[in-house]
Amino acid sequence: VWKWTSSSWCEDQDFFRFSGIYRDVYLYAVPKAHIWDIRTEALLNDDFTEGNLCVELKTEGCGNVKATLYAGEIRNADKIILPGVGAFGDAMEKIRGYGLEEVIKEVIDKGTPFLGICFGLHLLFEESEESPGVEGLGVFGGKVVKIPDCGLKIPHMGWNSITLSKDSKILDDNSFVYFVHSYYLNTEDEELVSAYTEYGEKLAIAVERGNVFATQFHPEKSGDAGMNILRKFVALGGKS
């Protein structure tokens, strides 16, 4: 599980800043909530430091928490979490550069519970308007697009309620959760979408199919409602 980023730590934002561009990508291997958090510097300096999500899961007693860059540890994890904040193209370049694209697809295909958070949701789809011409992981069909200008502030930063569009194993209807995003999912596969929110218009903000879950909002920043989502995910059955 990894987190790529650079430069100085932003205490108020809980991620690193690189020349004013946020480009965190994490992949958390979770054997009973085993999570590791690795930055780009970590690849060179063996500097393994924990991110906010990692700390929250430990605090909740979700089990051992470990961050790892190694494919073998990711393959053996009981759960995987892919959160992040960043640029779509940069993230996919890193994923492919470290040979992790096939590892991600492999653990998904064999039934390991997988949770994408915020940017982690975007990466599961085919492409994004943020980085034209760059292919995403393509786990699901669809495109990530810019939130339309409806007179509201973009990026969308703040609390919104969510409305479930189908039964969910980890989400609760009408939960109040925290968002930070300028892009959202546009897919014709309506059965994939598990929840929407209203921000100028109706936005798809969560997906769920089989062992794969993803949310546009940040559970780790969403108080009790968010921690309940993470608890439910960690409590899911293991590999099928």
Please say whether the beta carbons of 3 and 18 come within 8 A.
no
Encoding tokens for residue 43? Answer: 């690849």
Choose, from 34, 118, 122, 156, the residue flagged as catalytic: 118
Mean pLDDT to the nearest integer, 155-171 = 97
Q: Residue 14's pLDDT is what?
A: 34
Choose, from 34, 156, 181, 218, the residue flagged as catalytic: 218
pLDDT of 114 over the 60 cut:
yes
Please provide the DSSP assignment of 81-146 as one string: EE-EES-HHHHHHHHHHTT-HHHHHHHHHTT--EEEETHHHHHTSSEETTSTT-----SS--EEEE
pLDDT of 99 over the 80 cut:
yes
Encoding tokens for residue 52? Answer: 């906010």
Choose, from 56, 130, 208, 220, the residue flagged as catalytic: 220
Mean pLDDT to the nearest integer, 169-186 = 96
Q: How far is CA 147 from CA 156, 172, 197, 204, in A?
A: 8, 24, 12, 11
pTM of this prediction? 0.79
Per-chain mean pLDDT for the chain: 77
Q: Report the alpha-carbon distance of residue 62 to residue 221 in Å, rounded.
A: 17
60 is catalytic: no
220 is catalytic: yes
218 is catalytic: yes
